[in-house]
């Protein structure tokens, strides 16, 4: 069983990754390593941030590391909040504060066509002495007029899937994990892990 550490202290995100990867992996998170303090995200792209986190944790733990950087891109806002999604309303903003700020900035745009958005995710995998790879996933949708649903986290309550007529927060975990941006990137990683660096 391969041991992997997920470079996060976000329990919801870690559980989502566990479910998507499935059995066959011994998974730890930074909750198991309280001595490791992640550095601030200073990269200008999702890829830069994901790789920086994975490299740092892999170096500190000598354990193969998965890190992700993901965020929401809203067309009408010039692809904001983007890499600043987690701190859109400020450095220590809550999910609700970020959602409230987003809805406030879009309040004059009520037509769905003006509220198009996408979630983007970059998954980085770093293994000391072997190398590093990244995988991308995307999920297209729109920003709802108001939050709906109790599941998920982050912007899930306002990320509307028009073809389903539901937000991500209204989906069961299994349903979300089948279609999410993080799921797409992780499924690519999981397939790659069958062979890994041994094939390169």
Residue 185 pLDDT > 80, yes or no? Answer: yes
Q: What angle do CA 69, 159, 82 make, to 5 degrees?
A: 35
- Catalytic status, residue 95: no
Give the domain range for residue 113: 2-199
Position with higher pLDDT, 42 vs 165: 165
* Choice between 12 and 69, residue whose per-residue pLDDT is larger: 69
Q: How confident is the model at residue 2 (pLDDT cuts 50, 70, 90)?
A: confident
pLDDT band at 17 (very low <50, low <70, confident <90, very high): confident
CA distance 93 to 60: 28
User: Looking at residue 29, which CATH number applies to its domain?
Assistant: 3.90.950.10
Domain count, the chain: 1
- Name 140's bridge partners: 118
Query: pLDDT band at 45, cuts 50/70/90?
Result: very high
The C-alpha angle with vertex 85 and arms to 36 and 148, in degrees rounded to 5, equals 115
What average pLDDT is seen over the chain? 92
User: What pLDDT score does 198 carry?
Assistant: 62
Q: Which of 69, 75, 100, 156 is catalytic?
A: 69
- Model pTM greater than 0.85? yes
Q: Is the pLDDT of residue 200 over 80?
A: no
């Amino acid at each position: 069983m391969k041991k992997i550490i997920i470079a996060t202290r976000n329990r919801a995100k870690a559980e989502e990754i566990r479910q998507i990867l499935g059995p066959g992996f011994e998974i730890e998170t930074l909750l198991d390593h309280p001595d490791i303090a992640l550095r601030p995200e200073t990269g200008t792209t999702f890829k830069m941030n994901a790789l920086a986190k994975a490299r740092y944790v892999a170096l500190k733990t000598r354990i193969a590391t998965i890190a992700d950087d993901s965020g929401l891109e809203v067309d009408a806002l010039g692809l904001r909040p983007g890499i600043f999604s987690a701190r859109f309303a400020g450095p220590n903003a809550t999910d609700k504060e970020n959602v409230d700020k987003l809805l406030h900035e879009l309040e004059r745009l009520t037509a769905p066509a003006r509220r198009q958005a996408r979630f983007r995710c970059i998954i980085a995998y770093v293994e000391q002495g072997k190398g590093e790879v990244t995988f991308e996933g995307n999920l297209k949708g729109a920003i709802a007029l108001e939050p709906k649903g109790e599941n998920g986290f982050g912007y899930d309550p306002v990320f509307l899937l028009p073809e389903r007529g539901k937000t991500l927060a209204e989906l069961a975990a299994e349903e979300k994990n089948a279609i999410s941006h993080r799921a797409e990137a992780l499924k690519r990683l999981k397939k790659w892990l069958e062979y890994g660096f041994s094939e390169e």
